[in-house]
Structure 1
């Protein structure tokens, strides 16, 4: 952070952003420590540790699951916990295993930890809690996979997908007891971890310039928060060059917003409907009439930048 501050003085056009993978993982970890989810996650951990700690329980588990593991490595520690919960929930065979004669014959099962593991496997409210955890965490886990994957550059999609994840979490919580308070607490966690990390002017400018979002939701152009971020990003890109700042903000951005020229072509509209679209290539095709703005999104690759874990 100190180096960043020094660099920003020497190079005022430079941008700084937090590691997306690390920041989203912090969100998930904080959510996992909430009372609503913590007990379920700890029970799932204790269950998997017990099964994997003894060769007879491990062999029996692999027999019932047809050699499929329940512990799976993920991008981060919490992602691994999520995948384990997912594996547990998908395997009806585990519950059958806990009721089998072979399970009862294993001496370790009669220990205190074994009794606890068996109780966890047969407890219906444990499985319903696992289902809730998966529904609530999955939207952010999807974002985590996107930013850490090699499928496509993620900067242009990060801010928009976090906003989408917030809405998906609200749907996932539904009408369970205390839903409003739970949702409010989760949103507070996301907003606190996101602030000044994943909501920087760079992220908002990428969100603004990505037609997958802005051409499918015109309200983005009216958002004061997004526009402020875009303005700051333009000022930073063209630090001290007021002619280019004016060209972008007073002329070119309006051609993009109003879909003038190439932006108004049907093929341009069709090309930004699919989530798999590449916004940098889209700008390369249709942004030639706004050369200064195109440089921000295309030649400077703000839309073609992969959020990586350092």
Structure 2
């Protein structure tokens, strides 16, 4: 929030409020409560070291942040309840008992056990009368056991961690829980057979709303070519409308040349499949073959626009600016510096030591965008890099003493690289902002 400073650089848990000089330990949420003067278990910041206006401004910011966090928690809770309600697994019989595995005599946990209270001899009379979940520790332990089985499957099969952060995964867990013990998982034949066909049919039904939106307000057709790991050339065709983007078709085109006529035929077929009256525009990049297809489409369907991809247009603009002598020299010097640093393990380790593990190479969507993102990263870490190139740890490296290392070092020191990066970044930001926001 801009009102906290570290008391000790080696202890990042202890901070001091610049509004009142009070030192505190705790999480970000607790610190915001202190500034906002909210919460029952947190003292209030009096702002004795600042003006009343700055204190009120800080309080307002923290209150907004707390309200936003509360709103997100409430939305998350509502969303999770909605997801659970969408899951319906038919039950056999009316019993809701769950058997705890692992004992000689299975212990039955029924609905009542969820609300029974564990015996606590230290609890007061008022606490003993409070209704709460019973066997809380037991349920917590059982949940942890379930999580371990899920984690084991994720780890052993290299499942991406963010695959668990979606609605389908939560619904799957809810469905398994509703089914109860003894569930038989689907086989690989089920997944690639009937279940796949059923999911395909369900997805098609979900797209009906999107089809209605296309008929009402029209849609855009987007096409682009790419190469897979086997170097096969594949052309994708998608549509976009107010309800989102949907896939139409994908065709391997390794055996044909991507001429204007071929692209025109592919786009024209997609227009026919969707309906000429429901298509507003076609979006592609600015390649010459696409521009040729644009002319052919204009002859046959003059009412449909052909729009150049904004991202590709910006990319070409960045390429053109990068080829200008003023910018090309700076980009080449920055590129040579990063190539040298990342080309040797010792220089890379030294750089990460001074930047505290942060990288200076920032890959972007395109090669030319990556150049400017890397320049921005170098400018952002200018103090650490300056300290690095004049430090004895850097000078002692064998690679730095080589001819290539000396040239790279001198270019960084003498060419005023950081100031040039600042100018280049300003041009990059101006182009992107004007393109996106007019």
Give the TM-score range, shorter chain: 0.3 to 0.5
Higher share of residues assigned strand: 2
The TM-score with structure 1 as length reference comes to: 0.45
The TM-score with structure 2 as length reference comes to: 0.32
Q: Give the structure, 1 or 2, with the largest relative contact order (CA under 8 Å, sep 6 or more).
A: 1
Higher share of residues assigned helix: 1
Higher CA-based Rg: 2
